[in-house]
């Protein structure tokens, strides 16, 4: 799969890179916000090869790609460039939706950059639990204490980490936001609390609180800071704005955070925590059952983030949580079981391949490919997964199952359920077993409508026949091996196998008959799908996307039909190289996995129209 091409096609259907206001990603999906939602063609994006589904929830446009989301994100980020000034001169579209949708959007945007830190810290905690349980390391050893300190850091300084994510959401200075979070965590405040003396600020009483690991206070504070920053921007004289603007922001925001916003956030934290504890005390099975059964619905609607602040707060204060982890473990394992059952029963080869991969991934804790690619489309397996997850969730709640580390619950994250209670991991294993057995049996009994296998299109006949195919040189210059390209994405064949050419003339021609499927606004890269099924990407230069089309000329458009030898792009080699860019041009077969035999010509001088790559689908011994 060519994820550079996928990223380019996504950008085309969202109205171009100029329309992208925010671009982030999580484990399986791209998360985007736009200047104008009307320019976005969701149906066209969902139809793209490599896109599992499109979700518009929680104030974000989400594109489910699966485990290779990072490759797509990097390709898109490279094309888009810096988004900090992207909306300049444009009227940014206000977020639509109700208050719940806006709250979910704030939580998801704030927490997304933080997830790697708290996940990594959580896994170190899980590792320490294993080492302690097996007697490999004593809890009294200096090494244990140092590793424990490292794992605690992400949770202790959580307000600082969240300040960064919140500053992205509220569009204010991230460094100043993190500085204010640092003020909330300053050791001087802890000393004042320990002294127990009354504190006031210009006569106003200050309620000191422990903000380590807190969530809501810093989110509220950064939201307030975003307005104070705009005020400081307006009132600061231009000549001394560099000094006065940050001073005003800190001088106004930090005291407000300590006197008003912080204590209010701590109060809300306490109310939410007390409510969760009360529910757990009265009906310990209720929350895990609801999470285990309704988690797919929460993911689909984008509201799965709603419980994250509560769970994170519990982990920070108590060292364990029972809000998210137990129910999500039941739900994730149930999704995997339902999807693998589909893989066993289906006669459709494509569905079997997708379900096998997605089902295994879901068992490990990542369910979006399973949910959007299989169970949601087939419906009855989704119902089975929700029932199985709910049943397993009841056991998790009744047994008192808790999660000791912030990781996506699944078989790979079972160490996160190892802690002070040695039976906790046993209860986690039983929860998994219930989810697998109940869900698999229900999916088998309920069945599903097996999709009919698609017939291969006529245009693929030549490719599937095993007849050798030739790709002609699109350039005149010096042919070199692909590993000579300085960009690892090309040299390591991550986008496909092929050859590179150092052109001596600034003219790119079509190497095959076919259709233009990729042509970026920067005009430096062209993708063609040949009539024989071969998919070719030609990338003129390294990092030349940064030129934004300067020194490149072409009238080409996506969808154009081209014949071998047709002019595609003209480019000014002296001007491009004078700016410090390499002009070496990779010519890649992006679907090279379809060709067991792919042979490139030897390095040396090459002219337009010479054969540079020979392809054959027949196996070597055929």
Q: Which residues are annotated as catalytic? A: 26, 539
Dig out the tokens for 119 from the structure.
């996940």
Q: Of 454, 450, 433, 439, which is closest to residue 340 (Cα–Cα)?
A: 439
Radius of gyration of the CA atoms of the chain, in A: 28
Count the neighbouring beta carbons within 10 Å of the beta carbon of residue 18. Answer: 16
- 61 burial type by CB count under 10 A (0-12 exposed, 13-18 middle, 19+ buried): buried
- Cα atoms in the Cβ-side hemisphere of radius 13 Å centred on 397: 27
Dig out the tokens for 564 from the structure.
């071998």
End-to-end CA distance of the chain: 26
Quote the CA–CA distance of 447 and 379 in Å, as a whole number. Answer: 10
In three-state secondary structure terms, 61 is strand
- 47 burial type by CB count under 10 A (0-12 exposed, 13-18 middle, 19+ buried): exposed
Sheet holding 597-600, edge to edge: 469-472, 611-616, 597-600
Quote the CA–CA distance of 360 and 389 in Å, as a whole number. Answer: 16
Directed axis angle between helix 174-184 and helix 158-170, to 10°? 150
Dig out the tokens for 486 from the structure.
């300085």
Dig out the tokens for 578 from the structure.
């004078």
Quote the CA–CA distance of 242 and 199 in Å, as a whole number. Answer: 32
Q: Of 498, 477, 327, which is closest to residue 417 (Cα–Cα)?
A: 327
Instruction: With beta carbons less than 8 A apart as the criterion, state whether 291 and 325 touch.
Output: no
Contacts of 513 (CB under 8 A, 6+ apart): 530, 531, 562, 563, 564
Count the neighbouring beta carbons within 10 Å of the beta carbon of residue 281. Answer: 8
Q: Which residues pair with 22 in a beta bridge?
A: 33
Q: Of 571, 379, 550, which is closest to residue 475 (Cα–Cα)?
A: 571
Instruction: With beta carbons less than 8 A apart as the criterion, state whether 613 and 460 touch.
Output: no
């Amino acid at each position: 799969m060519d994820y550079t091409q996928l990223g380019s096609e996504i950008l085309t259907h969202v109205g171009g890179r100029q329309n992208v206001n925010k671009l982030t990603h999580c484990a399986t999906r791209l998360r985007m916000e736009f200047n104008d939602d009307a320019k976005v063609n969701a149906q066209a994006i969902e139809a793209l090869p490599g896109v599992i589904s499109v979700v518009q929830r929680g104030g974000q446009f989400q594109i489910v790609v699966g485990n290779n989301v990072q490759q797509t994100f990097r390709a898109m980020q490279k094309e888009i460039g810096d988004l900090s000034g992207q909306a300049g001169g444009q009227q940014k579209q206000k977020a639509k939706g109700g208050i719940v949708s806006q709250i979910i959007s704030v939580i998801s945007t704030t927490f997304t950059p933080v997830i790697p830190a708290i996940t990594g810290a959580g896994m170190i905690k899980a590792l320490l639990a294993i080492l302690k349980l097996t007697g490999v390391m004593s809890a009294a050893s200096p090494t244990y204490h140092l590793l424990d300190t490292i794992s605690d850091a992400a949770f202790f300084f959580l307000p600082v980490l969240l300040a960064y994510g919140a500053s992205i959401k509220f569009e204010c200075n991230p460094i100043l936001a993190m500085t204010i979070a640092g003020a909330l965590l300053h050791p001087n405040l802890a000393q004042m609390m320990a002294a127990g003396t009354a504190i006031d600020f210009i006569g106003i009483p200050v309620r000191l609180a422990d903000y380590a690991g807190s969530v809501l206070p810093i989110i509220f504070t950064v939201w307030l800071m975003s307005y104070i920053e705009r005020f400081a921007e307006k009132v600061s004289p231009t000549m001394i704005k560099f000094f006065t603007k940050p001073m005003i922001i800190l001088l106004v925001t930090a005291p407000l955070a300590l006197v008003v916003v912080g204590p209010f956030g701590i109060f809300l934290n306490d109310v939410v925590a007390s409510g969760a504890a009360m529910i757990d005390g009265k009906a310990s099975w209720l929350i895990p059952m609801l999470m285990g059964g309704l988690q797919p619905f929460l993911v689909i609607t984008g509201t799965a983030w709603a419980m994250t602040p509560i769970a994170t707060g519990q982990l920070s204060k108590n060292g364990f949580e029972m809000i998210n982890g137990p129910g999500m473990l039941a739900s994730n394992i149930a999704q995997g079981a339902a999807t693998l059952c589909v893989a066993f029963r289906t006669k459709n080869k494509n569905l079997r391949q997708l379900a096998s991969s997605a089902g295994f991934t879901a068992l490990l804790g990542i369910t979006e490919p399973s949910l959007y690619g299989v169970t949601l489309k087939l419906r009855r397996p989704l119902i089975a997964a929700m029932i199985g997850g709910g049943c397993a969730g009841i056991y998790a709640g009744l047994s008192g199952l808790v999660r000791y580390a912030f990781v996506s619950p699944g078989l790979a994250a079972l160490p996160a359920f190892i802690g002070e209670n040695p039976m906790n991991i046993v209860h986690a294993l039983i929860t998994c077993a219930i989810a697998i057995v109940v869900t698999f049996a229900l999916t088998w009994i309920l069945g599903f409508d097996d999709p009919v296998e698609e017939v291969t299109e006529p245009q693929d006949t030549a490719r599937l026949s095993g007849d050798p195919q030739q790709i002609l040189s699109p350039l005149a210059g010096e042919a070199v091996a692909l590993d000579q390209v300085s960009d690892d994405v090309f040299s390591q064949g991550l986008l496909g196998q092929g050859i590179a050419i150092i052109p001596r003339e600034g003219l790119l021609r079509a190497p095959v008959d076919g259709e233009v499927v990729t042509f970026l606004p920067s005009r430096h890269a062209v993708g063609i799908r040949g009539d024989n099924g071969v998919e070719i990407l030609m990338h003129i230069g390294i990092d030349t996307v940064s030129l934004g089309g300067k020194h490149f000329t072409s009238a080409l458009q996506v969808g154009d039909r081209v014949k071998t030898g047709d002019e595609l792009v003209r480019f000014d080699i002296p001007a491009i190289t004078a700016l410090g860019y390499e002009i070496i041009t990779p010519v890649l077969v992006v679907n090279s996995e379809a060709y067991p035999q792919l042979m490139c010509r030897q390095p040396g001088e090459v002219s337009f129209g010479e054969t540079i790559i020979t392809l054959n689908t027949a196996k070597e011994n055929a």
